Amino acid sequence: MRTKALIIPSLTLAAGLAACGGTDEPNNTNNNNTGTQTQAVTLKFAAQVAGADFVCGQTYAGLGTRSSTLTANDFRFYVSEVALVDAAGNAAPVTLTQDGKWQYEDVALLDFEDGCGGAGNIDLRSTVEGEVAAGDYTGVRFTLGVPFDKNHQEAATAPAPLNLTAMFWNWNGGYKFLRVDGGAAGIPGWRLHLGSTTCDGDGAGHVSTCGEPNRPVVTLSSFDAATDTIVMDLAEVVADVDLTNDTTGSPGCMSAPNDMECAGYFKALGLPFGAQAAVEQTAFMVK
């Protein structure tokens, strides 16, 4: 059953979430550094299209407002500031395992492409692993994106998974928080790249602020890490998009604030776009 989710277009996490759901009770361990009890946690993610598991290079039909086709050969995104939430609305940050490849500090990369388009790689990643304070949790919260303090750096010399230049624009714009590439409605070169825009820099690689940070915070209730999966469904992402429409010569959305094709994508992600206010997101759900 699909679980409704609440998304908050802000860098500040929401204060509370009250929900009912399952609990996960993995083995508790003692954190020798703090003396507090912790428990290992693995959060499972999946990429789907209209409820079917995403397959790199496969063509899907019946998508968007014109029931169009879509073929994707890249599907990756960053998550950060991951936390589990208890029934009282208290959030417990997940300390990510530092594996040297997929997770660095509080950032993790999810990768659902297998290099089918020649631009990605064969390695896949569908989990976020770490430790959290021992307890019973009924929800999960995370940011879709890279935190500001890590977003504006030189990707080529950054630690993995922030060293992927394919997931990076430039020092001013920073990383592509979400990257989906392929072809839509028979139009090649379709892309959905979510990232920060209208960023102010001094020309020496120092960015002070971004007018459009575009980091949605996702909160999902009725979530049991032991049994549930966090799903991003591409059909929901394009549900209010006319995939046959190309108004800029670059089909899709690259997060430009003047690209009206982005309105439908941002709506699904729970982000405001121009005069369009943010609404409850539909891209992520619990299954």
pTM: 0.88
Residue 31 lies in a domain: no
pLDDT in tens, the chain (287 residues): 444 444 444 433 333 333 334 444 445 555 545 668 999 999 999 999 999 999 999 999 999 999 999 999 999 999 999 999 999 999 999 999 999 999 999 999 999 999 997 777 899 999 999 999 999 999 999 999 999 999 999 999 999 999 999 999 998 899 999 999 999 998 899 999 999 999 998 867 789 999 999 999 999 999 999 999 999 999 999 999 999 998 877 899 999 999 999 999 999 999 999 999 999 999 999 99
Give the separation between CA 225 and CA 102, rounded to whole angstroms: 19
Residue 242 lies in a domain: yes
Where in the sequence is the domain holding 86, given as residue range(s)? 5-20+40-286
> Domain for residue 25, yes or no?
no
Q: Is residue 26 part of a domain?
A: no
In a domain, 94, yes or no: yes
Q: State how many domains the chain has.
A: 1
Let me know if residue 32 belongs to a domain: no
Q: Flag whether 249 is in a domain.
A: yes
**269 domain-assigned:** yes
